[in-house]
Amino acid sequence: MTTPTSSPTSSGPQQTLSYVTPAPHSPWLTYLSQVDRVTPFLGRLARWAETLKRPKRALIVDVPIEMDDGSVRHFEGFRVQHNLSRGPGKGGVRYHPDVTLEEVMALSAWMTVKNAAVNLPYGGAKGGIRVDPRSLSNKELERMTRRYTSEIGIIIGPHQDIPAPDVGTNGQIMAWMMDTYSMNTGATASGVVTGKPLHLGGSLGRVKATGRGVFVTGREAARRINLKLDGARVAVQGFGNVGGAAAEMFAGAGALIVAAQDHTGTVVNPKGFDMADLMAHVRDTGGVGGFTGGDVVPGEDFWDTDCEIVIPAALEGQLTVPRANRLKARLLLEGANGPTLPEADDVMAERGILVVPDVICNAGGVTVSYFEWVQDFSSFFWSEDEINLRLDKIMVDALRKIWDTADRHRISLRTATFAVACERILTAREERGLYP
Ligand code: NAD
């Protein structure tokens, strides 16, 4: 890591990407602004920074399927490989009605940074289909997943690019992806996706790994700012794979979950929810809406909940400037990818709210995905305790290095995470050299 230069080494005049015209507050613009903030700290490697601002490869696919009623519907699918300098692509697949190429580009870029931040031997990738998966039957979902996998089969593979679950996808969808890829290539390829069910080479501890990573980084950050978790009040947005698991772990450490918000509603209880009841309600009904163990409040009220910790664990762009101004918490743990707009980052910095950024905070999922991939190749499976201990150590060590970098340069944890990660990515870029 070098000291900042006022005018980073130029990589020359660059063309803008003609295939993307970002809307204001688009996640891709958020990502580009994060790269601009770290570039002055990259020293001679700044010469390569432009590499971070353009995906290596973006595939758009048509996904036509026959619906149960005999009609044919077409869905838009994407797979973007942002950067492969440090290894094969790695990143989830999202099924959501708002998925766009630009969103998938941003998510793939954050994967590049995240994988390097925890020093996994991966580049960054991401995929998605523009669909509301809840509107499909199970059979339709399977047909769509299989056709999508077949279409992106030309660029994925155990050594090329390894998808995993994200919003709207789960272990069953990974099983269909693994089966489709295996059928097309003529051999069972368990290492082509992670987040699989256990019987197909999945890893113990994977389902809760992202939530566990949020907890581990939150625990470490709280310790450093002298915030006791026992009795701390926590507000959680998004009660899916990430938010639900993180909430359970904070509650297990004595914290009170005082607000929960998802696409079905917002509930609060200043005394803390009964977590077993809340989790059962979410499991049975698909969301926190209608939970009677708290009061229903308007969605915007979530942001000024009286609490010490806020965990956005839903979608991008949730922390706007007005919301950042409303926060009463001391610590924001980004379970979601890209939940904070750059201007809101500045507001939180001014207000003394510590942000543990997505690119380290939610890296637990991909870390255990890496463990799963390694276990699949060696066909030797570890115990859950072993996985959780290794995960804890990787997250704590990574956060320590990031924290030291932030202290040394007096920069935010986000810029420090980008600095640590981009140094690794661009060093690999430089050492490999430009082909041809
Ligand atoms: P999920 O589908 O399991 O859950 C998403 C949650 O967000 C649900 O509770 C849903 O109700 C809620 N939500 C959706 N729209 C909302 C809205 N407008 N307002 C409030 N809540 C809303 O997804 P997940 O896997 O838990 O992913 C959540 C976030 O974490 C995403 O940003 C994802 O990219 C990120 N992430 C996931 C993983 C992983 O391993 N699954 C890893 C790293 C990061």
Note whether 227 and 346 are same-domain residues.
Answer: yes
Q: At residue 159, does pLDDT exceed 80?
A: yes
One domain for residues 244 and 145? no
The span from the CA of 115 to the CA of 37, in Å, is 19
CB-CB neighbours of 57 under 10 Å: 15
Residue 262 CA, closest ligand 1 atom number: 21
- Ligand 1 atom 23, closest CA: 167
Cα dihedral 22, 24, 25, 31 sign: positive
Counting residues of the chain whose pLDDT is more than 90, the rounded percentage is: 95
Point out the ligand 1 atom lying closest to the alpha carbon of residue 337.
Answer: 32
Task: Mention every residue, 6+ apart, whose C-beta is less than 8 A from residue 290.
Answer: 264, 265, 281
- Categorize the per-residue pLDDT at 1 as very low, low, confident or very high, splitting at 50, 70 and 90: low
Query: Of residues 53, 90, 114, 126, which has the active-site annotation?
Result: 126
For residue 348, give Cα distances in angstroms to 33, 109, 333. 16, 23, 12
Which CATH number goes with the domain that contains 320? 3.40.50.720
CB of 88 within 6 A of ligand 1: the answer is: no
- Strand partners for 312: 237
Residue-wise pLDDT for 212-224, tens only, equals: 999 999 999 999 9
Are 294 and 236 in a shared domain? yes
278 inside domain: yes
- Ligand 1 center to 387 CA (angstroms): 23
Q: pLDDT value at position 10? A: 53
User: Whose C-alpha lies nearest to ligand 1, atom 31?
Assistant: 336
Ligand 1 centroid from CA 235, angstroms: 15
Q: What is the CATH classification number for the domain harbouring 159? A: 3.40.50.10860
The closest of 184, 189, 188, 185 to 162, measured between CA atoms, is: 189
pLDDT in tens, 281-312: 999 999 999 999 999 999 999 999 999 999 99
Strand order in the sheet with 233-237: 295-296, 265-268, 256-262, 233-237, 309-312, 331-333, 354-356
* 153 φ, ψ (degrees, to nearest 5): -60, -20
Together in a domain, 93 and 193: yes
- Does residue 104 have its Cβ closer than 6 Å to ligand 1? no
Atom of ligand 1 nearest to the CA of 242: 26
Q: Mean pLDDT throughout 158-168?
A: 97
Question: Does 214 sit in the ligand 1 pocket, CB within 6 Å?
Answer: no
Cα(165)–Cα(91) distance, integer angstroms: 8
Out of 148, 177, 200, pick the residue that ends a domain.
200
pLDDT for the residue numbered 7: 44
On whether both 282 and 329 belong to a single domain, the answer is yes
Q: Is residue 74 part of a domain?
A: yes
Contacts of 65 (CB under 8 A, 6+ apart): 72, 73, 75, 140, 143, 144, 147
Does residue 436 have a cis peptide bond before it, meaning omega lies within 30 degrees of 0? yes
On whether residue 389 sits in a domain, the answer given is no
- Respond yes or no: is residue 53 known to be catalytic: no
Residue nearest ligand 1's atom 18 by CA: 263
> Distance, CA 165 to ligand 1 centroid (Å)?
10
Residue 16: per-residue pLDDT = 86
What pLDDT was estimated at residue 6? 46
Give the mean pLDDT of 161-178: 98
Residue 80 has pLDDT above 90, yes or no: yes
Residue-averaged pLDDT of the chain = 96
Checking if the pLDDT of 85 tops 50, the result is yes
SS3 state at 48: helix
Q: Which residues contact 183 (CB under 8 A, 6 or more apart)?
A: none
Ligand 1 contacts CB of residue 362 (under 6 A) = yes
Pocket test for ligand 1, best of 107, 134, 241 (most atoms within 8 A of CB): 241
Confidence of residue 11 (pLDDT cuts 50, 70, 90): low
Q: Specify if 296 maps to a domain.
A: yes
Residue to mutate (ligand 1; options 80, 103, 262; most atoms within 8 A of CB): 262
Alpha-carbon gap, residue 353 to 14, rounded angstroms: 36
Domain match, 121 and 259 both? no
| CA 268 to the chain's CA centroid | 26
Residue 319 lies in a domain: yes
Is 219 in the same domain as 300? Answer: yes
Nearest to 358 by CA among 433, 413, 436: 413
Q: Are residues 145 and 213 in the same domain?
A: no
357-380 confidence digits (pLDDT tens): 999 999 999 999 999 999 999 999
Residue 238 near ligand 1, beta carbon < 6 Å:
yes
Assess whether 109 and 248 both reside in one domain: no
Residue 330 lies in a domain: yes
| Domain count along the chain | 2
Residues 189 and 219 in one domain: no
Determine whether the shortest distance from the Cβ of 165 to ligand 1 is under 6 A: yes
335 lines ligand 1 (CB under 6 A): yes
| 430 pLDDT higher than 70 | yes
Residue 15 has pLDDT above 50, yes or no: yes
Give the model confidence (pLDDT) of 305-357 as tens digits: 999 999 999 999 999 999 999 999 999 999 999 999 999 999 999 999 999 99
Q: Is 194 in the pocket of ligand 1 (CB under 6 A)?
A: no
For residue 212, report the distance from its CA to the centre of ligand 1, in Å: 15
Would you call 78 exposed, middle or buried from its count of C-beta atoms within 10 A (0-12, 13-18, 19+)?
buried
Q: Is residue 167 in contact with ligand 1, taking CB distance under 6 Å?
A: yes
- 60 and 150 assigned to the same domain: yes
Phi-psi region of 96 (alpha: psi -120 to 50; beta: other; left: phi over 0): beta
User: Residue 50 C-alpha to ligand 1 middle, in angstroms?
Assistant: 30
The 124-130 sheet, strands edge to edge: 57-66, 72-83, 124-130, 89-96, 161-165
Looking at residues 8-21, what average pLDDT do you find? 76
pLDDT tens per residue across span 97-138: 999 999 999 999 999 999 999 999 999 999 999 999 999 999
What pLDDT does residue 5 have? Answer: 52
Asked if residue 421 is part of any domain, the answer here is no
Does 100 contact ligand 1 (Cβ within 6 A)?
Answer: no
pLDDT for the residue 255: 98
Cβ of 237 less than 6 Å from ligand 1: yes
For ligand 1, is residue 405 a contact (CB within 6 Å)?
Answer: no
d(CA 153, CA 388): 32
Residue after which a domain boundary falls, among 200, 231, 263: 200
80, 193, 242: residue to mutate for ligand 1 pocket, most atoms within 8 A of CB: 242
Look at residue 207 and give its three-state secondary structure.
Answer: coil
Quick one: which of 54, 37, 67, 160 has its CA closest to 109?
54
Ligand 1 pocket test, candidate residues 261, 315, 366, most atoms within 8 A of CB: 315
Nearest residue by C-alpha to atom 3 in ligand 1: 240
- Please report which confidence band the pLDDT of residue 3 belongs to, taking 50, 70 and 90 as the band edges: low
User: Is residue 4 predicted with pLDDT exceeding 70?
Assistant: no
Q: Is the CB of 314 under 6 A from ligand 1?
A: yes
222 and 346 belong to one structural domain: yes
Residue 381 lies in a domain: no
Query: Which residue, of 361, 385, 404, is where some domain finishes?
Result: 361
Rounded Cα distance between 375 and 377, Å, is: 5
Query: What's the domain range around 165?
Result: 55-200
Whether residue 411 is predicted with pLDDT greater than 50 in this model: the reply is yes
pLDDT digits (tens, 9 = 90+) for 24-67: 889 999 999 999 999 999 999 999 999 999 999 999 999 999 99
